[in-house]
Structure 1
Amino acid sequence: MSARHGMGGVGLVALAFAIHGNALAQTQGAPAPVAGQAAMDAQADDGGLAEIIVTATRRNTNLQTTPVAVSAVDSAMINQAAPRDISDLSTFVPNFSAAKITGFNAASFALRGVSVNNIIVYYEAPVGVLVDDFVMPSVQTQLLDTFDIDQFEVLRGPQGTLFGKNTTGGAVTVRTKRPDLTQFGGEARLSYGSFDTYQVQGALNVPIMTDTLGLRLVGAYNKSAGFMRNGYCYGPVTPFGESKYAGASGCGDGRRIGGSSVFSGRAKLLWEPSADISALLQYEIIRDDSDPAAAIEDTPAGPGFLFNLLGVGGAANTGDPLKRHGLTFRESEYIEMSKARVDVDGVFLNVNIDVGVGTITNVAGYRFQRSRLPNSTTGMGSIVADDGDELALFDLNRSDDRKTWQEELRFASDLGGPFDFVAGAFYQRETVDFCVAQVLGFQDLVGATTPYGAWDDNPYVLCNDQRSRSTALYAEGTYEITDALTLTVGGRYTWEKKRWRGRQQAFVQDITGDPTMTWEDIPLMDLNDFSRFPDGVVTNRATFKEPTWRASLGYRFTPDTFGYATYSRGFKGGGFNDQIGSFAPFGENLDAFRAAAEPTTPETADSFEAGVKTELFDRRLRFNLTGFYVKYKNLQKQIVTPLVVNGQTFQVTRFFNAAAAEVKGLEAELTAIPVDGLTLRANLGYQDGKYNEYVTPLPAGYDLASAPLDRAPKWQWAADATYALPVGDAGNLFLNGNVAFTDRNLFSQSITSPDENAYLGARTIFNGSIGFRGLDDAYSVRLVGRNLTDKRYKVSQLVVGGLWTFSNYAPPRSWMLEVSTKF
């Protein structure tokens, strides 16, 4: 263990002992006046920590007696942390990290050695996300605004029974705030900060019929100019052969890029005609027309990458990386950089009926998502010739329409004896239509030609679609063997069916069969109409049937100490790849294309974990510790590889059931109130993962299994302190400080050399805030600072075969002033 790592672990242990000592020193009795809403919610009336109720077992249970490794962040902690979205809450959860997929504003969650690092529309992430029990199928909209969140839970490890669908790593469950049936009221928050960022958030609660029918309206709008600058540099360009771009060099114009413009809202109608019936109807809306997600061309020096050979590699870029990102601002060939768009509309109904011996719950919903995502995936702008003509190296527009239907019916018993159970059925149906248009200008620099002119003038189009259905039956029962000992056993059986259709990547003229038709004559998504354009289309089907299960023993050693041991199996369904298509001239060798488009098979995770949960010193100290071992089989791995067709170099993302791996580790969580008004939190995650095998049919330049697991830092820790101080009868002054450490970790692998693998460096990040809150939360003012040491660090990086590498960086030091009111 390095000194750096040792300091991280020792520092957390020292903090735990310091809190332990302070808690022992406290005299018991009537607590001092509670100062600040965060402290108020953390501290119970008797001065100890308030009870935390979680839904990890599909019923309300105390966190400290739930035999599952689960972390919970309630609305008080959310308000205290001032997160931009749910990814910022990852610091409260050991061994959990949240980032964005390279080049896109999409969630990339990682937990216990598994993660998602790509934007493939059919790829199902190993960490499931559920909002009010509806499974969120797309990573593109999982980075939720936190204003309306009541509680955020992370279930660590495979969830093989009650959640079940694609949760080999774990599950994130989000519960939003429900309407209040008794009081009319509302809240509003205005924020302004760095990069000309402003945010307006508000909620209105209307009890239409007291105690029976209530409405809650929630809306938020965020606008930012972006923290990156269009300052890429390139050249001198060295094309393969004659070209008017030979010798060209230059830099971007320095304008701000990567800004945001997002509106989100929910309308909720709660009906409770009696104490036994509750029905919540919700409508969700998202309108996101943010700038394209800017990146930075970050290719390491050396002859191993094509971009370096062409003179456009990252060696030309020096200085502050945030000032040398790049976009082309193209508005043609289907790539309209000014029209990035994600639209979501959803309708959901949650019904609970208490029938005396238990509760019947029905969750039904429909969600439509439409994405249009233009991007300069190289992280560079245009190459400009002496005559003013511009060449974009690799622009694209990923467009998809996704419709998701879900129905889940379950029963949670309340039999009044030693045995209770949860049983249910789950059904989800989804349709996804997808097209990507790519403008491969770098092909013009290597001397490649097309039948229709320059590559930079002709979009290369790939379309496919998927129709999928997932059905599951599950049951889990808990039996109290003694007053102290409980046994939980459950199982789930899942049936999945998928049908994929796709066409080889081709020019518009080839797809339509009309050599005079261009991109200007037909919308991109119309090319997804396979009945209208059937040439070159192949169809694949897949069926998967998988049993999963969980068994757990829980034992209460003392009234304040609970221990458990659990074995569980989870699985993630096999899937197709939306990038398969660049193999042969259009319409030829379809059998090889169909074989390449075959889906991966399911991956499985067998997990063994044991933990202890304690509350000490009259609940002034809460400390939970978990140890785990997970063995993964048939891991679905994705690698971006170069592909040469007829002498032309392309890039393609390939999927394989390539790997088997194992991960073992520890997770510790601590919360304490050493003195009234002061709340301390800390967590520590350690994981040691390795591949047991990593075999693909690709000609690899080195043993892929020698690399570490993706997104699996060995050490992660965070510490947080909140202090609230009464200021007479006016209100409370509150301060918050947070520090988080993440160890060096691999983000993506190269297939040619371990020296070209993309790593994220170790980092320690400091955040803080200071504010004043009036009595009864009537108003508050807060100043928030993030990344206070102004550290530059990568949050994602992708190696594109032997072509180039591009990265995303986190925001620099920033501030935000918030003013809020409640009535």
Structure 2
Amino acid sequence: MRTAFRTLSLPAFLAAGISIATVAQAQTSAPQAADASVTEDVADIVVTAQRRSQSLLTVPLAISALNGDTLQNKGISNSANLATAVPNLQVSSPYGSTQPNFSLRGISVANEYNSNQASPVGVYIDDVYIAARTSHGMGLFDLDRVEVLRGPQGTLFGRNTTGGAINFVTRAPKLEGSNGYFEAGYGNFDTFRAQGAVETTIVEDQVGVRVAGNYEKGDGQIRNVAAGGRDANSVDTLQGRFYLRAKPGNGGLDIKIRAYAGRDRGTQAGVHGLTGPATPGQGFFKVDENRIGDNRTDAWGVAANVALELTPEITLTSITSYDGGKQNLQQAADGSPLDVLDINWRSNFRQFSEEARINYEGEKLKLVGGAFYGWDRTITDNRFNIGSALGPGVNGGFFQHYRQTRRSYAAFLQGDYDLTDKLVLTLGARYTWDRARYSDGFAYLFAGNIGGAETPLASTVPCTGVPGTCAYNPAARYAISGRNNALTGRVALSYTLDSGTLLYASYSRGYRSGAFNGGGYTSSVGITYIDPERVNAYEAGIKGRFLDNALTLSAAGFYYDYSNQQVQDTRPGPVSFLVNAPKSEVYGGEVEATYRVVRGFVINASAGYLSAKYKTLTLQNTDLSGNSLPFAPRWTATLGADWTLFDNGTDSVTFSPVMNYFSRQYFSPFNATNATGTGQINSELQQGGYAKVNASLAWTHGPVQVRGWINNAFNRKIYTYGLDLRGAGFPYNFLIPGTPRTFGVGARYSF
């Protein structure tokens, strides 16, 4: 039965989509199909998923595109909230909204939490790859759109995109007139928000500038019941962006220069560890913690996008960027009034990238090709304070330092060729050379209290023995190198019906480069360079508009042959190893639909089905074959609406509710399995199925809008992340509670 279901699962969602489309097509000719008012103002969403501007419905890829208004209506103010709008997308983190872990169709960093690891879901800002995962936890403001590309993007995006890619596209000056907006709001937890943008055209059609900013500050959302303790999950963020665009003489040269900077200073995420919701007087949205730390992060960068139209068919583009940032995360990881485990995660990031490409737009052939170079560096100084680590009443811990540099070179080419006026063949290939080095690595065991003086006792890196058995050597250093090459690509056939409906089928190969174990600090034996991840992905889909354009529908089914997922394996010592999960199988599908029922009433819905299993995996000498991949719920679904309750031409009132459903998901590759002799209780590391409801009510009068909103309206108590610490010798597991009910009101003025 299971084999039969797996065989049928790839076309299942496609068949469902075709069935809906067929019915819709048949009904279109019926007199009652749609009132003319229903189909007014049906706008195309333009995306650049294939490095050229195309209508979303003509791209043979599974893409979710959210514009700025959609983000606001759905209450998505941070990249960590995107899972509420995209099927088969999960976002998790042990650090709250800092350093989010994106999981697309089950492909994620699994149980890996170190800052040196690359996300298997590539994150981009205006086509610029962002290597540091700490910089992924950005506030979303003044965006044109967010594009989420599901499935490996190994040709045009390429670097570390086994799961997919997320491209945040900011608003660029339009070079006509002036415009802008300002909004401010207030919510519970004494939260104040302000956001705005101003754009002016200095020379009409030639030179324009846009400046945007975002600010939010609020108290902790997870109450701390410890005497005098600070609350967890507070918000304190400030971001700014400057955009200059120039088209000299309104000719073929288009220069875009974007600079940004931002910082976060909120308190750490709440932790349920030694104490939890079952502790008397605590409850779910509370912690009992004597040391609530700060999540201090900074990010900045500048990018130049220069495009030159040589002829109407040929355009040259250069994208040059330099970005940086740092994190200083002070995390009390025991969730108790005791000093059992306090960690200071500190890293400094730098990166440079250059992409040069050429676009050719012929009558039957369209080409995108070019070359890419990327360099990034991470310098890490972590400190792990372990209460009474050396004996009763003797405090101490471990200090860790290393430098990681990575270089990536690639050449790519993709072409779309019209075999007929309706049938298009897509062929693409990318060859990547990755080079990496882990250097200046050392770690040592020390005695000392949290925040006090430290006395080094023994070197643990470099040291291949049991922690504490190698004499302290301040000059000792550890270094290794790694390299790998990869050929990735894409083959697709797409067919457009007379009605405009698109059918497509594709094969894609994705790749995530090899990695160093950033979690090795108790012994150098675990610091190795492991193999890259690879995925062979098969997908079929349908996209189109039906019922006189009242219904917009897309559906896709997929099957992945996934190998070498990079996961953590903690062994007795405790020594942390980064290892490869040899084989996994992933299959499922998604459906997304927008239906304009009548004028002023639009239903938005999506659903995702996912089966993601390890075919071969052993951790801690325990066979986990057949277990589910972490952060891969079998079902996800969204149902929402935009309902204009009143509109007299001057004033309007719109109600926008949305419900999100997620079935059970595990936080660990162990699922509910316990390794023998570890004292693990891995059944704690999961979240059962749940639904959350968000809603907003907006009154608009000309350029003024007043909006009230509520998120997690029914105050659902859920965990968003969990980590096994029992296997590492601690008497508890590490769990992060989600956000409680939040609500507020805001006003916006546009000009």
Task: Provide TM-score, normalisation by structure 1.
Answer: 0.81
Counterpart for residue 300 of structure 2 = 345
Question: Aligned partners of 1:614 and 1:463: how far apart in 2?
Answer: 53
Q: Tell me, what secondary structure is at the counterpart of 1:182?
A: coil
**What does residue range 548-697 of structure 1 map to in structure 2 within 5 Å?**
548-583=488-523, 593=524, 595-639=525-569, 641=570, 643-644=572-573, 650=574, 652-696=575-619
Query: 1:801 offset after TM fit, Å?
Result: 4.0
Counterpart for residue 147 of structure 1 = 141
**What does residue range 756-775 of structure 1 map to in structure 2 within 5 Å?**
756-757=682-683, 758-775=685-702
Gap regions ≥5 residues in structure 1: 2-8, 33-45, 232-250, 300-311, 330-336, 383-391, 449-453, 511-516, 584-592, 645-649
Question: Aligned partners of 1:670 and 1:805: how far apart in 2?
Answer: 40
Judged with a 3 Å threshold, the aligned counterparts in structure 2 of structure 1 residues 26 and 811 are, in CA distance, closer, same or farther, namely farther
Give the counterpart letter for 2:381 in structure 1.
C
Counterpart for residue 492 of structure 1 = 430
Query: 1:313 offset after TM fit, Å?
Result: 8.4
2:409 to 471, 474, 477: 471
Q: Tell me, what secondary structure is at the counterpart of 2:80?
A: helix
Counterpart for residue 811 of structure 1 = 739
Question: Aligned partners of 1:573 and 1:203: how far apart in 2?
Answer: 38
Contact 1:294/1:327 (CA < 8 Å) preserved in 2? no
Q: Tell me, what secondary structure is at the counterpart of 2:156?
A: coil
Asked if 1:195 corresponds to 2:170, the answer is no
Counterpart for residue 156 of structure 1 = 150
Query: 1:26 offset after TM fit, Å?
Result: 5.3
Q: Tell me, what secondary structure is at the counterpart of 2:382?
A: strand
Asked if 1:781 corresponds to 2:721, the answer is no
Judged with a 3 Å threshold, the aligned counterparts in structure 2 of structure 1 residues 140 and 340 are, in CA distance, closer, same or farther, namely same
Residue by residue over 1:262-318, the C-alpha shift from the partner in whole angstroms, topping out at 9 and shown as x without a partner, is: 101101111111231211111110121211233221x6xxxxxxxxxxxx7886467
Residue by residue over 1:646-702, the C-alpha shift from the partner in whole angstroms, topping out at 9 and shown as x without a partner, is: xxxx4x542101331011101111111111111111111001121110035x433xx
Query: 1:103 offset after TM fit, Å?
Result: 6.1
1:394 to 341, 354, 368: 341
1:542 to 482, 485, 489: 482
**What does residue range 161-200 of structure 1 map to in structure 2 within 5 Å?**
161-200=155-194
Judged with a 3 Å threshold, the aligned counterparts in structure 2 of structure 1 residues 469 and 191 are, in CA distance, closer, same or farther, namely same
**What does residue range 214-363 of structure 1 map to in structure 2 within 5 Å?**
214-231=208-225, 253=228, 255-273=230-248, 274-297=250-273, 316=279, 320-329=283-292, 337=293, 340-356=295-311, 357-363=313-319
Give the counterpart letter for 1:429 in structure 2.
W
Query: 1:503 offset after TM fit, Å?
Result: 3.6
Question: Aligned partners of 1:425 and 1:706: how far apart in 2?
Answer: 40
Contact 1:165/1:572 (CA < 8 Å) preserved in 2? yes
Contact 1:148/1:177 (CA < 8 Å) preserved in 2? yes
Q: Tell me, what secondary structure is at the counterpart of 1:469?
A: strand
Question: Aligned partners of 1:314 and 1:731: how far apart in 2?
Answer: 46
Query: 1:814 offset after TM fit, Å?
Result: 1.7
Contact 1:504/1:582 (CA < 8 Å) preserved in 2? no
Query: 1:253 offset after TM fit, Å?
Result: 4.9
Judged with a 3 Å threshold, the aligned counterparts in structure 2 of structure 1 residues 228 and 394 are, in CA distance, closer, same or farther, namely same
Q: Tell me, what secondary structure is at the counterpart of 2:607?
A: strand
Judged with a 3 Å threshold, the aligned counterparts in structure 2 of structure 1 residues 315 and 509 are, in CA distance, closer, same or farther, namely closer
Question: Aligned partners of 1:176 and 1:791: how far apart in 2?
Answer: 33
Counterpart for residue 413 of structure 1 = 360
Contact 2:156/2:412 (CA < 8 Å) preserved in 1? yes
Query: 1:88 offset after TM fit, Å?
Result: 2.2
Contact 2:526/2:578 (CA < 8 Å) preserved in 1? no
Query: 1:340 offset after TM fit, Å?
Result: 4.0
Question: Aligned partners of 1:540 and 1:254: how far apart in 2?
Answer: 43
Contact 1:462/1:581 (CA < 8 Å) preserved in 2? yes
Judged with a 3 Å threshold, the aligned counterparts in structure 2 of structure 1 residues 755 and 380 are, in CA distance, closer, same or farther, namely closer
Residue by residue over 1:707-746, the C-alpha shift from the partner in whole angstroms, topping out at 9 and shown as x without a partner, is: 2111111111101100124443432111101011000011
Contact 2:96/2:233 (CA < 8 Å) preserved in 1? no
1:83 to 58, 62, 76: 76
Judged with a 3 Å threshold, the aligned counterparts in structure 2 of structure 1 residues 521 and 216 are, in CA distance, closer, same or farther, namely farther
Question: Aligned partners of 2:572 and 2:388: how far apart in 1?
Answer: 14
Question: Aligned partners of 1:455 and 1:477: how far apart in 2?
Answer: 65
Q: Tell me, what secondary structure is at the counterpart of 2:632?
A: coil
Question: Aligned partners of 1:374 and 1:717: how far apart in 2?
Answer: 35
Question: Aligned partners of 1:16 and 1:485: how far apart in 2?
Answer: 23
Contact 1:103/1:295 (CA < 8 Å) preserved in 2? no
Counterpart for residue 248 of structure 1 = none
Query: 1:197 offset after TM fit, Å?
Result: 0.9
Q: Tell me, what secondary structure is at the counterpart of 1:137?
A: coil
Contact 1:119/1:139 (CA < 8 Å) preserved in 2? no
Query: 1:576 offset after TM fit, Å?
Result: 0.6
Counterpart for residue 364 of structure 1 = 320
Question: Aligned partners of 1:731 and 1:259: how far apart in 2?
Answer: 36
Question: Aligned partners of 1:628 and 1:375: how far apart in 2?
Answer: 39
Give the counterpart letter for 2:492 in structure 1.
S
Q: RMSD of the TM alignment (CA)? A: 2.8
Q: Tell me, what secondary structure is at the counterpart of 2:515?
A: coil
Counterpart for residue 236 of structure 1 = none
Judged with a 3 Å threshold, the aligned counterparts in structure 2 of structure 1 residues 486 and 22 are, in CA distance, closer, same or farther, namely closer
Contact 1:104/1:292 (CA < 8 Å) preserved in 2? no
Question: Aligned partners of 1:747 and 1:164: how far apart in 2?
Answer: 27
Judged with a 3 Å threshold, the aligned counterparts in structure 2 of structure 1 residues 662 and 789 are, in CA distance, closer, same or farther, namely same
Q: Tell me, what secondary structure is at the counterpart of 1:115?
A: coil
Q: Tell me, what secondary structure is at the counterpart of 2:72?
A: helix
Question: Aligned partners of 2:452 and 2:213: how far apart in 1?
Answer: 41
Judged with a 3 Å threshold, the aligned counterparts in structure 2 of structure 1 residues 371 and 755 are, in CA distance, closer, same or farther, namely closer
1:742 to 662, 668, 678: 662
Contact 1:26/1:675 (CA < 8 Å) preserved in 2? no
Judged with a 3 Å threshold, the aligned counterparts in structure 2 of structure 1 residues 620 and 145 are, in CA distance, closer, same or farther, namely same
Task: Choose 260-269 or 373-382, whichever is displaced more.
Answer: 373-382
Give the counterpart letter for 1:354 in structure 2.
E
Q: Tell me, what secondary structure is at the counterpart of 1:788?
A: coil
Asked if 1:94 corresponds to 2:87, the answer is yes
Give the counterpart letter for 1:747 in structure 2.
F
Question: Aligned partners of 2:33 and 2:633: how far apart in 1?
Answer: 41
Counterpart for residue 37 of structure 1 = none
Question: Aligned partners of 1:538 and 1:89: how far apart in 2?
Answer: 39
Query: 1:762 offset after TM fit, Å?
Result: 0.8
Judged with a 3 Å threshold, the aligned counterparts in structure 2 of structure 1 residues 611 and 520 are, in CA distance, closer, same or farther, namely same
Task: Provide TM-score, normalisation by structure 2.
Answer: 0.89
1 or 2, which has the higher helix percentage? 1
Aligned length: 705
